Amino acid sequence: MAVSPSDELTEMAQDELTAACALTWPELTRITPWGDSFEGFAPSGRTVEVERRYLWAHDPAGAVVVEVEVRDAAAKTGVEARALLRAP
């Protein structure tokens, strides 16, 4: 069964968030605040833009918010996933 376009973006955002959160705490704190974006391909072959953001959280102080957004500019759709990471 084929994955719907919106489900495909959700799966990509979750996969990318998992990868973004795999950094160690020292690696996270060295790059925060930071963000980047790149163009990639969804499993269906359509072109998407993936953006990662690492931001300092206001609450709790010292935590890092990791945000990932996957956008299909042609279809004007996108999905965002986020996680709050605290020091170990």
pLDDT in tens, the chain (88 residues): 455 666 999 999 999 999 999 999 999 999 999 999 999 999 999 999 999 999 999 999 999 999 999 999 898 999 999 999 999 9
Question: Model pTM?
Answer: 0.87
Give buried/exposed letters for 52-87 (b at 16+ CB in 10 A, else e): bbbeeeeeeeebbbbbbbbbbeeeeebbebeeebee
What is the CATH architecture of 5-85? 2-Layer Sandwich (3.30)
- Locate the domains of the chain by residue range: 5-85
